[in-house]
Amino acid sequence: MTLLDGRSAAAVRQAAQAIAAGELVAFATETVYGLGARADDDAAVSKIFAAKSRPSAHPLIVHLAQASGAEAFATVVPPLAQTLVDAFWPGPLTLILPRRPEAALAAAGGQPSIGLRCPSHPVARALLGEAAALGVSGIAAPSANRHGRVSPTRAAHVAAEFGAGLLVLDGGDCELGIESAIVDVSRLDERGPVLLRPGSLGRARLEAAAGCALLDADAGAPRAPGTLASHYAPRATLRLMSAAALRKAFELLPLDAMPKEKRGTLAVYCRSVEPPKRLAQRRMPQDPAACAHELFAVLRAFDDEGAQLLWVEEPPADPAWEGVADRLRRAAAA
């Protein structure tokens, strides 16, 4: 891995030149690190799918330097979509829009719609701006990890996934820690806006800006990143448990009879339950934003410590926790 300092204009220029040449570059965003290629080059985009072992029909998000860049990929930006753009771009919101037939076929996974986002992270914005100056209309970038695994929120996480040979534009730890919310606005003539993936922008904020309720995904919804039943999974088997179930499990756990080395294979991430002190454990923050910020790093840390089984307390049934709950449900489905 070649690590570039995202604060350096020369490093950003080097990364943009690599993107323009059709190469892959990992870079920091406010959500997670992305694995990027120029979205207007299907051959370059195919390298993302190959590196991640990701199915080519599973679409990517195209990142834009400016909101006006949507015109290169979308046939139309409906008034409701523009309202959301004005409220949340740059920021952690992806909009699914009708795709120009000639644009980004590979990045869209072959669909007639396309996911667009304008990130707010200064490193991502600098890279997108430099790339745009070189004729790159947008950068397609899923999370910089093997398909289905835990998303990276630090440059070191990217290195652990891909090793040598990849340019990584380091922007420090990601501020938010989970991927963007995804709202489908490609079918407004037949259906209202649909929340395909929750994120750090809560449903209430999105609905307040939109002036209407967001519908749940239906059978006709376009495919979208991060919406497979199994996703975001650590190597350890993750079991999502209620607080009551955790307490009962601790009561039944024969910890004194368990060899020390066996004890180390079980780890606990909980919020309101006190686990036995001899188990590997992390305390889940009480604040959903703080939990989202650390979630993927905690899952990766347990993997690094050799945990084979991970018990995680279910987040509160509260809209503010919807993004964290979504990631944990999909990680447990693996």
CATH value at residue 303 = 3.40.50
Q: Whole-prediction pTM value?
A: 0.95
- pLDDT per position as a tens digit, 242-280: 999 999 999 888 776 666 666 668 999 999 999 988 889
**Burial class of 307 by CB neighbour count within 10 A (0 to 12, 13 to 18, 19+):** buried
In a domain, 309, yes or no: yes
Q: Please indicate, yes or no, whether residues 56 and 142 belong to a single structural domain of this protein.
A: yes
User: Which residues of the chain fall below pLDDT 50?
Assistant: none
What was the pLDDT predicted at 189? 84
Q: Please indicate, yes or no, whether residues 156 and 200 belong to a single structural domain of this protein.
A: yes
What was the pLDDT predicted at 261? 60
Q: Please indicate, yes or no, whether residues 304 and 183 belong to a single structural domain of this protein.
A: no
- pLDDT per position as a tens digit, 6-27: 999 999 999 999 999 999 999 9
In a domain, 221, yes or no: no
Q: Please indicate, yes or no, whether residues 119 and 203 belong to a single structural domain of this protein.
A: yes
Q: Please indicate, yes or no, whether residues 195 and 66 belong to a single structural domain of this protein.
A: yes
What was the pLDDT predicted at 30? 98
Length of the chain: 334
Distance CA 288, CA 265 (A): 27
Q: Please indicate, yes or no, whether residues 255 and 140 belong to a single structural domain of this protein.
A: no
In a domain, 189, yes or no: yes
CATH value at residue 46 = 3.90.870.10
What was the pLDDT predicted at 164? 78
What was the pLDDT predicted at 302? 96
Distance CA 85, CA 95 (A): 8
CA angle in degrees (0–180, nearest 5) for 7-11-17 = 135
DSSP state of 227: -
290: which 2 tokens? 């703080």
Maximum Cα interatomic distance, the chain, rounded to a whole number of Å: 65
What was the pLDDT predicted at 254? 79
Q: How many helices (H) and strands (E) does the chain have?
A: 10, 15
